[in-house]
């Protein structure tokens, strides 16, 4: 055995210490209240604009900025800039439009968009597994370990939410996935309307900081219709409620390149690709390199893969995913 493979759309939680308590109805109610508290994009919340500065580790640290303009879950725009790179996503109705000045979205920027999921937490998607009551900085807290009820990463993802027991305010949140390979941290929670949001967002990969974002502004706003006009030439992707995601049908593994094996070389090759409505694969792009030979065999093999396509109801749709191929010698 020499590798572990991961397939993800936009992938995703906590350490538990102290005395464990029985999980009861009061804890479930607290989880619901906490989810409502951090869900700044809840239905009827009103338009908002969020700005953040970030630093992404892409060979070298690179600084950037993002701006989210949000009216509703089916009407928003997200603009990301980093050096010469520009990307604008516009959601309008049942379509997401993606415009960028490169063939693909850099891996770290895809993960940055995943960090924003913290602002729209839904309690119904999670269930409490453990509860403990540590004292943090002199504050009595209630820390809940919660797991996703379903989904591709439900068995590999977990989340810890710590709340001030006296004020019922969120203190910290952490998400771990893929056996701690990725860890997301959310801290420095601040009030906004009747909600609460973290000003500090971090992603650690294998223990090293990959992303660090700081919310610089969050405010109520109004926008004219021109804000949400789809960019010319943008990629269009159908969106819908209760979408079903691509399912692997035929996904053979690549061969470990002989020269890499002989020289004890390894790494993680990450590719972005589109699963077409036919279930075949298109637009394969290497977005994270393990080295030329490992990148090449990964790119070649995924082009032969076959999926059951993503579905909106009975309609098959195109869907973009990432694939990680971890080349390891054991």
Half-sphere exposure of 130 (CA within 13 A, CB side): 14
Per-residue pLDDT at 27: 63
Given this model, what pLDDT does residue 11 score?
30
Predicted pLDDT at 195: 85
Contact (CB, 8 A) for 174 and 160: yes
Sequential DSSP letters for 14-72: ----S-EE---HHHHHHHHHHHHHH-TT-TT---EEEEEEEEEEESEEEEEEEEEEEEE
Q: Which CATH architecture has domain 241-327?
A: 2-Layer Sandwich (3.30)
**Per-residue pLDDT at 277:** 96
**CATH architecture for residues 12-228:** Clam (2.50)
Instruction: Provide the 8-state DSSP code for 303.
Output: T
Contacts 24+ apart (CB under 8 A), 53-56: 53/213, 53/214, 53/216, 54/112, 54/211, 54/212, 54/213, 54/214, 55/211, 55/212, 55/213, 56/82, 56/106, 56/108, 56/109, 56/112, 56/210, 56/211
**List of the chain residues with pLDDT < 70:** 1-28, 30, 121-125, 149-156, 178-180, 330
Nearest in space to 66 (alpha carbons), one of 12, 8, 114: 114
Domain ranges of the chain: 12-228, 241-327
Neighbours of 325 (CB within 10 A): 24
> How large a percentage of the chain has pLDDT more than 70?
85
Identify the DSSP state of 252.
P
pTM of the model: 0.81
User: In 3D, which of 319, 315, 254, 265 has the Cα closest to residue 290?
Assistant: 265
**pLDDT value for 179:** 60
Q: What CA–CA distance (Å, rounded) separates 327 from 305?
A: 19
HSE-up (13 A, CA, CB side) for residue 117:
19
- Name beta bridge partners: 127: 147
Q: What is the pLDDT of residue 219?
A: 95
Whether 324 contacts 270, CB under 8 Å? yes
Give 67-84 pLDDT, tens digit per residue: 999 999 899 999 999 999
One DSSP character per residue, 174-241 reads EEEETTTTEEEEEEEEEEETTEEEEEEEEEEETTEEEEEEEEEEEEE----GGGGPPPTT-EEEE--T
pLDDT of residue 306: 96
């Amino acid at each position: 055995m020499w590798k572990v493979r991961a397939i993800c759309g936009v992938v995703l939680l906590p350490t538990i210490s102290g005395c464990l308590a029985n999980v009861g109805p009061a804890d479930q109610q607290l989880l619901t209240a906490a989810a409502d508290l951090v869900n700044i994009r809840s239905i009827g919340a009103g338009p908002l604009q969020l700005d953040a500065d970030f630093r992404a580790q892409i060979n070298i640290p690179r600084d950037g900025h993002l701006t989210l303009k949000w009216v509703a879950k089916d009407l928003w725009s997200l603009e990301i800039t980093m050096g010469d790179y520009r990307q604008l996503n516009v959601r309008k109705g049942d379509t997401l439009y993606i415009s960028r000045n490169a063939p693909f979205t850099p891996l770290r920027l895809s993960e940055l968009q995943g960090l924003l999921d913290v602002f729209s937490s839904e309690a119904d998607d999670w269930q409490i597994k453990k509860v403990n009551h540590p004292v943090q900085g002199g504050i009595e807290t209630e820390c809940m370990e919660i797991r996703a009820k379903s989904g591709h990463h439900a068995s590999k993802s977990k989340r810890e939410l710590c709340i001030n027991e006296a004020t019922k305010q969120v203190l910290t949140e952490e998400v771990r996935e893929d056996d701690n390979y990725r860890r997301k941290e959310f801290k420095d929670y601040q009030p906004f309307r009747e909600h609460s949001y973290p000003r500090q967002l971090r992603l650690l990969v294998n223990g090293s900081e990959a992303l660090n974002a700081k919310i610089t502004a969050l405010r109520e706003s109004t926008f004219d219709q021109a804000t949400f006009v789809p960019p010319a030439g943008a990629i269009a992707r159908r969106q819908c409620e209760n979408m079903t995601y691509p399912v692997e049908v035929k996904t053979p593994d690549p061969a470990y390149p002989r020269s890499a094996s002989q020289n004890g070389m390894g790494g993680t090759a990450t590719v972005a690709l589109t699963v077409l409505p036919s279930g075949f694969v298109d637009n394969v792009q290497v977005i994270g390199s393990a080295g030329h030979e490992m990148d090449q065999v990964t790119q070649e093999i995924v082009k032969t893969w076959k999926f059951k396509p993503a579905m909106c109801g009975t309609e098959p749709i195109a869907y973009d995913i990432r694939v990680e191929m971890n080349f390891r010698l054991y």
